[in-house]
Amino acid sequence: MCYPNMPICLPCWPGCKSCQDGTPCWVQEDWLLRSGVLAIQGVFMLLIFISMLVAYRHRRNRRIRASGLLLLETILFGSLLLYFPVFIMYFRPSTFRCILLRWVRMLGFSIVYGTVTLKMYRVLKVFLSRTAQRMPYMSSLHLLRILGVMLMTVSWFLCAWTVGVMQNRDRNIPVFITTNTPDGQGFNMCYLDRWDYMMAVAELLFLCWGSSLWTAVRPVPSAFHEPRYMGIAIHNELLLSSLFHLFRFTFPSLHPDWMLLLSFTHTHVTITVTLALLFVPKVFHIFMSIVPQ
């Protein structure tokens, strides 16, 4: 970089092949902002661990027993996986992190909303068993076995995708690429290919199935109104995840700090809201049962 009014040339910003002035060529992340986001995410993950302990401690509570302790703990475990993408996006992309990002998202989504959907399916079966159609009761272990089959299917898909990604890497097709912000500053990002579109569509189709189940169980009377809360959670996820995927596929070159904030916001307006809908009424009931004592 040479200044015309000065008889000297100064070096370009580190990482710049050529430059006209002292402006950085690469994106400069706000590490204070990113650390704050990471700290808040860590607090929420700690709250999930505490919720696991509270649910187990009060496993004899009527609301906990009605929902099924194993299913509630499964939902909490899946939510931990859904909180992990923010931790992964805190660091700069690498082959391992880009692959891990898809794994934790797909598995966490399948565990949380697979369990929620299967719980609504059980409510529907119980309702049918009390009418003209006699259906065998589906225990929590039975639902977990069905969930296990779903997770095996998702895992096989992710394994096939991972093998394909590694083969593409051998053909010099990168897992992460270098792109530019609208300001012309470069940064690395995980490459979004057709498989990412397929994963997003699969999520939305699964949520549509959950929505159809909720429509069927909506008239079913429930002592604790749990199907209503599960229906709100599924429709909330369906709406906001549709907007999230549309935005990130439309603007893939968004500044990394903004993309981290977008992912952080998406996590809390979906999975945190889901956990609040499912667990806050139970915690309130536990608290109200303890206060008179």
pLDDT for position 234: 96
Q: Residue 161 domain-assigned?
A: yes
> Does 63 reside within a domain?
yes
Mean pLDDT, the chain cut into blocks of 10 residues (293 residues total)? 56 59 71 94 96 88 83 95 95 92 96 94 76 63 94 95 86 82 81 90 95 86 78 96 94 90 96 93 72 56
Domain membership flag for residue 255: yes
Judged by DSSP in three states, 32 sits in: helix
Looking at residue 128, what is its pLDDT? 67
Q: Which one, of 188, 224, 192, lies nearest residue 105 by Cα?
A: 192
Which domain CATH number covers 258? 1.20.1070.10
Residue 107 inside a domain? The answer is yes
Number of domains forming the structure of the chain: 1
- Boundaries of domain holding 196: 31-290
Contact 124, 52 (CB under 8 A): no
Instruction: Examine residue 47 and state whether it is found in any structural domain, yes or no.
Output: yes
Please give the C-alpha separations between residue 89 and each of 44, 169, 220, 240, in angstroms, as whole numbers: 17, 21, 42, 20
pLDDT of residue 173: 78
Measured CA to CA, the distance from residue 236 to residue 238 in angstroms comes to: 5
How far apart are the C-alpha atoms of 151 and 78, rounded to whole Å? 11
Domain for residue 24, yes or no?
no
Domain-located, residue 49 = yes
What per-residue confidence (pLDDT) applies to 170?
Answer: 77
- In angstroms, the CA 236 to CA 232 distance is 6
Domain assignment present for residue 138? The answer is yes
